Structure formats: structure tokens, C-alpha cells
Amino acid sequence: MSFYSNHCMIRTPWADIPYQPWRETCTALHLYTQIVGKYRLARTPWINHSWQATFYVSARGLTSSLVPDGSGGVEIGFDLLDHIVTGSATDGRRAQFSLGPMSVAEFHRRFIDMIASLGGTPEFHGVPNEVPDPIPFVLDRAKRPYAADAVTRYFQALVAVERVLKRFRTEYLGKVSHVHLFWGSFDLAVTRFSGRTAPLHPGGVPGLPDEVTREAYSHEVSSAGFWPGSGGVDFPAFYSYAYPTPHGFSAVQPEPEAAYFDNDLGEFLLPYDAVRRSNDPEATLMSFLDSTYRAAADLGGWDRPALECPPGIPRRPRPL
């Protein structure tokens, strides 16, 4: 396990977020983020690996960051404490609407109206991605529940997880992504790169154009993240995978003991509850991130000495 400095670690509550009780709310929130994400995707120039489309954890939930639109830009936020969607334009205009029980079509209508009121361009692809049996947003009229307490606990979990993922990110000199949320698969993720190109991805990811998948996996990666549930995993879990998958990867036993390789998904999983209930959740999660990355890098022949560095410490420049 890597060095983990206690003096710069703030203990964050790890909320209990069982998936089944808020499954329908989680599905609804996922689709709502897809609507906002597709707006950002339609207005933002492409960045490698689709990084231009992601969300970030904020002090109150999730933010799109500034989207180039209108007179300068528009920022959309999911406030998961007061349960509202907020919109702010660089010309000073602001708008919001409440999150609560509604249909996807109703959320879509409210969001379109909000973007128009901010002087933005509410035009984007109207069908969700990476979900089974996608229904166009405007036709998804079934009323969805909204369990506000569960949503807030999910946000608390994101805050705790993001802190560790950001710490993990500091230990890498090579190309590495920000810690960000992909609204397609609804996962908070961070990705390290070996620096080498990868074999052409075969594509075939359900609900995702092959050209997007192939660009995302154009280079060798070790990627890890967090799902609240769904996607073949009916419990909140951490994951870690490599592309291309090196020989022997699935046979590795990572840390901690509760982690395992899921043959159907082709990646390592660690139940969120195994982390939450441990004596030191941050260190437990870091052991999973470190051990699965090392398996990918060692078996894949990455130049680890040239790519890694000590963890970042506030106010201390990285030693050369």
C-alpha cells in the first residue's frame, strides 16, 4: 500500500447507500444527468477520451462546469442537498427547478425551458446512452420516484470516494484523467495511461457508438471508479480494469480480501460496504486502487519508475 499522509487526510463520513431501496430513484437521477450531459456534449469541443462531457463533484452535488453557450457560458448544477437543478449564465442570468417525483419527459421539458431562459441553445441528442432498452426522453412519461434522503446519502458517498480517488491521482506523473463522473455509465472514475497506444477496440458496447468507444480506448489504460449500482452489479461497488487486459490479470488476488475478479464484467470489484465497514475506509479503498493498478502495470509491462511519484502533499512541490 502506498504512503498515506495522516496530516492531510480529513475523515469523511461514508454513508450507507444500499442500492435496492433507491434503485428507481437512482435510475431516474442517472437519466436526468444524461439529459444535462448531452446538452454539455452538444456545445463543448471534443477532448480526448470524451473528457469534455463529464461532470465533477461540487460542494452541493454535481456540476457541469462552464459550457460554452449563450453570451459566454452556462453552468448546470445538481444540488443534491436542497434537491434542485441550478443554471447560471455568465451574463448574470440564473434559473432553477426542483428535483422530485416526475417523469423523464417532465425533467427534459423543464431543463429545455431553463436553458432557453438562460439564453442558451437547448438542442441535443434526445435518446439516452449505455442503458438497456433506451426510450427517447420526450417519450419517457412514466412517473419516477425521488427519494431525497437516499440522493443526499449518495452525494455524501461521492464526496468520500472522490477524496480518495483524487489522492490516488496525485501519485502519477504520466497522463492521468481528472476524477470525473461519466453520465453514460453513471460512474465516478479516474484513469491512468501507460503512454503507449492500444490495439483498436472492437467496439460493441451497448448504447455507445463504436467511434466513441475506440477513441476512448485509443491508448493503454488502468481505470478505476465507483458505481452506486446497476450495470450488472446490484450493489454499490468499486471497480478496476485494464485495456488491453494483460495475460494473467484475472488470476491476481488484489487487496483487500473482499475484492475479486468478476468474469462477466472482466474487471475487479470491491463492494462499497466492505470499504465503509472497515476500520479505515480510506486506506482500504487505496489498497484496492494500488493493488489493481500494479497488477495492470506489471503484467502489461508499463514503465512504472518513470510514471509514478510520491503522493501529493498540500503546499509541498513534487520533489525532483
Range list of β-strands (E), 143-296: 143-144, 180-182, 187-197, 219-227, 237-243, 260-262, 267-271
**Does the pLDDT at position 298 exceed 70?**
yes
Q: What is the mean pLDDT of residues 94-112?
A: 98
With a pLDDT cut of 70, the percent of the chain lying above it is 96
User: Can you give the pLDDT at residue 2?
Assistant: 41
Q: What is the radius of gyration, based on Cα positions, of the chain?
A: 20
Predicted confidence band of residue 230 (pLDDT cuts 50, 70, 90) = confident
User: Can you give the pLDDT at residue 11?
Assistant: 60
- The model's pLDDT over 147-191, given as tens digits with 9 standing for 90+, comes to 999 999 999 999 999 999 999 999 999 999 999 999 999 999 999
| 257 shares its domain with 285 | yes
Which residue range(s) make up the domain with 300?
A: 149-307
Residue 185 belongs to some domain of the structure = yes
Residue that finishes a domain, picked among 117, 147, 177: 147
- The model's pLDDT over 21-44, given as tens digits with 9 standing for 90+, comes to 999 999 999 999 999 999 999 999
User: Can you give the pLDDT at residue 12?
Assistant: 65
Q: Where are the alpha helices (DSSP H) in 217-280?
A: 272-276
Residue 11 belongs to some domain of the structure = no
User: Can you give the pLDDT at residue 10?
Assistant: 52
Residue 194, all three cell numbers = 501507460
User: Can you give the pLDDT at residue 292?
Assistant: 98
State the chain's mean pLDDT as an integer: 95
| 95 shares its domain with 170 | no
This prediction's pTM? 0.94
| 231 shares its domain with 112 | no
| 179 shares its domain with 138 | no
Residue 30, all three cell numbers = 442517472
